[in-house]
Chain A
Amino acid sequence: MPQIDISVVTFPLQGGGLDRFTDPLVQFLTDIANLDAVLLQLLAFGLLLGGVYALTALGLTMIFGVMDVINFAHGVFLVVGMYTVWLVSESLGISPFVGIPIAAVVLFVLGVVVHVLTVEPILEAPQQNQLIATLGVLLIIQSAIEIVFTPDPQQVQLSLGSLQVGGVFIPLGQLYALIIALGTMLAVRAFLNSTDLGRRIRGTADNRDGARYVGINVKRINYLTFGIGAALAGVAGASIALFQRFDPFTGETYLINAFVIVILGGLGSFPGAFVGGLIVGMIQVFGGYYLPGTTAQVLIFLLFIGTLLVKPEGLFGGADA
């Protein structure tokens, strides 16, 4: 196939600092025109990274969707999931994959305890109170992990390697995390749509006062929701531990991305979280490849700000979110 060179095309205002953006754009368009194989590789990486990001955002979006609580402890819940799967595999010699449901259970219990002790008493207070309380929970659990396990990074002894499909490398650890993300999203969606408890949770999310009027135990729904949200974080953290070293502070980066994804996709929306995760993943991968330095990060936060300004309800938000 003859190579196409569109670098001769001059963009308006090209030159100076603008080259920083126009040159990569030209390169990107040239690769598309030439159907460069690297595009497929980047697409795979974007999908894998986006899937992991989506998984980390599910619990956050659920807790807000039902309870209107901004859970800053979500990042450290991820970390507890990581340490749980590591402990299970290192201490008991059990497969890390078995550790994933165990992490979900541990985090569910932890979520319920955190909710009962810190969130429930101030649930009706202004929203910033819960934010500060969960931030406090984050710091306490993070410090406890650091004291018990030291700040040294840990890793699950699991060498999964990668698949090669038509010249495209797919790291298996991230592929499993993507599958877990999809499976978890479908399972929770089925739970919410097809079970009585799920319907009660949805009803509470629709109208908390109305739910009380029809006899739903909103208090119970609250702690179950917080527990399920934490369990989702546990699954996410445990999945990340399959392919990444971690320390007590690993959750911070994921937490920031999760907030961006939740706002981008729409508050309380699972499909929104998934699509938001994919968008952020794709920007990071394609931006990381074509743009200089770490300019892709700037794009992500520009998108975040743009969403707040133009469509604050998010892509899947609005009256129906």
Chain B
Amino acid sequence: MGKTLKSSVTSNRRRFLKTTGASVAALTLAGCTSDDTGSGGDGGDGGDNGSDGGSGGNQGTTTGSSGGSVDEVVIGSNHPLSGSLAATGVGMNNAIKLAAMRKNEAGGIESLGGAEVNVIQGDNQGKQELGGQVTEELLSDGANVLTGCYSSPVTTAATQVAERQGVPFVISIAAADNILENRGFNYVYRPQPPARRMASDYADLVPTVVRDNGGTLDTAGLFYINNSYGQAIRDSLRETLPEQDVEIVEETAIEFGASNANTQVSRLRQADPDTIIASTYVAGGVLLAQALQDQSYRPPHLTACASATFTDDKAVSDIGDFANGVLDNNYALNPTTDKTAEVRSQFTENYDQEFSASVGMAYTAGEVIIQAIEEAGSADSEDINNALKQLQYEDHISAMGTIEFNDAGENINALAPVNQVQDLSVKVVYPEEYAETSPQI
């Protein structure tokens, strides 16, 4: 249009600039905070963690004036039900509901006379600024115990509120170390391995798998999502890979919501490492695979650390044959127990969704909460919190040992085994106690 369409009124232009500028700034800020806290620090938690014990949490829904028998115990599920993380977030929320449904079908909380487990949900949209707000809303709606949030920055904000209110929070998925590190939390627990553990598991397991099967893995290029989760994995890999004689020769980040990974792959192609290690949400890994194919490049070993992409059946299917052979160490479903198949079948039947490793990890978090309620014999948040501290839970479907938490709230037996995409199916290949097939290098 150039010289054809004139904005005749200058003040209109100024209004546009002013209004749009403010709007774009707001949108951008929202995007930045939702996707990327970036600091790798402790999320600005203000240093007042848990000092007051909060309100003591909610007491559950009771019948009778004395509050003797409990009708139901409420789990507040704080996940991204809309926004670009919703595809996985909705599945995770459904997994929590399934855990509750299975318990209710089995008679409810036995130690509470068959009280029902009720799940209420809140949508954090994957935005950090909503993490705390949704938590507050779930608590005011009567949640006795909380879970969430998939995105690490969101979880950082949500757990701060839970801690302040004195209500236990079991993280469904969120990898960043700093969610629990140096925050002095007393009410937050994480069944999954945190970033540092996943990175050390990568360094311990993946080079071993490659080398034991005749491959070479001396150099690596990192491809990570630029938020607290991706940065935490990157930082940990920097520490752990050299211990296994793997040199990092390139690092490149992708922005949340990026439209392609062409530039990043150009950098990786120039460095030509033995392996590219991807640490991204689902979309980032898909973009990586597409850019690699567009540039006709694939390192000898395409691997991932804590990446959601290569444990997601739909993403693997969308990527196609190029996904075959990718090694990804991440939390995984335990293929060696019958319960896994049973839960998977029930989930797909009820929700018409894939039961991915991420969804499975959320299911495990749901079961951890329910088991803690059972052992507490109470709907009181403080009692549930005490039960979580003592919990030893074996009958779960994740590929790791007994779930029990240390003083910081981390699961001391958390594990990120090695998965491999074989025939467009995600399979655990190492360590052997959880392996359903052998790795193909």
Residues of A participating in the B interface, judged by any CB pair closer than 8 Å:
38, 41-42, 45, 48-49, 52, 61-62, 64-66, 68, 70, 72, 127-128, 131, 142-143, 146, 150-153, 155, 159, 161-162, 164, 169, 171, 174, 189, 192-193, 201-202, 205-208, 240, 243-245, 247-250, 252-256, 259-260, 262-263, 267-272, 284-285, 288-289, 292-294, 297, 301, 304, 308, 312-313, 316-317, 319-321
Contacts and interface: CB of A to CB of B under 8 A. Distances in A.
Contact of A260 (B13, B24, B90, B258): B24
Contacts of B31: 252-253, 256
5 contacts: A161-B293, A256-B27, A268-B1, A288-B264, A312-B17
Given A152-B314, A250-B84, A308-B21, A65 B1 contact: yes
A259 B20 contact: yes
Describe B's contact surface by its main secondary structure: helix
B2 A151 contact: no
Contact of A293 (B16, B86, B87, B253): B253
Contacts of B350: none
Interface in B172-222: none
Contact of A297 (B16, B83, B255): B255
A164 B296 CA distance: 9
Contacts of A317: 13
B4 interface: yes
Contact of A169 (B12, B21, B267, B294): B294
Contacts of B19: 70, 127-128, 131
Given A65-B6, A153-B318, 4 more contacts: A131-B19, A169-B294, A171-B262, A304-B24
A273 to B, nearest CB: 9
B5 A65 contact: yes
Contact of B1 (A161, A171, A270): A270
Contacts of A65: 1, 5-7
B254 interface: yes
B156 to A, nearest CB: 19
A61 B1 contact: yes
Closest 3 CB pairs of A and B: A151-B86, A65-B5, A205-B5
Nearest to A154: B318
B390 interface: no
Contacts of B17: 263, 308, 312
Contacts of A153: 87, 282-283, 286, 314-315, 318
B259 A70 contact: no
Interface in B263-303: 263-264, 266-267, 270, 282-283, 286, 290, 293-296
A164 B295 CA distance: 8
A70 B16 contact: yes
A150 B90 contact: yes
B332 to A, nearest CB: 21
Nearest to A46: B263
A258 B284 CA distance: 22
B119 to A, nearest CB: 19
A294 B283 contact: no
B15 A245 contact: no
B6 to A, nearest CB: 5
A270 B5 CA distance: 9
A205 B8 CA distance: 7
Contacts of A289: 263, 266-267
Given A155-B318, A247-B86, A127 B255 contact: no
B254 A256 contact: no
Nearest to B17: A312
B5 A62 contact: yes
Nearest to B13: A267
Given A162-B295, A255-B27, A268-B7, A249 B83 contact: yes
B3 A320 contact: yes
Contacts of A243: 260, 290
B60 to A, nearest CB: 32
A321 B28 contact: no
Contact of B2 (A262, A308, A321): A321
A268 B9 CA distance: 13
A246 to B, nearest CB: 10
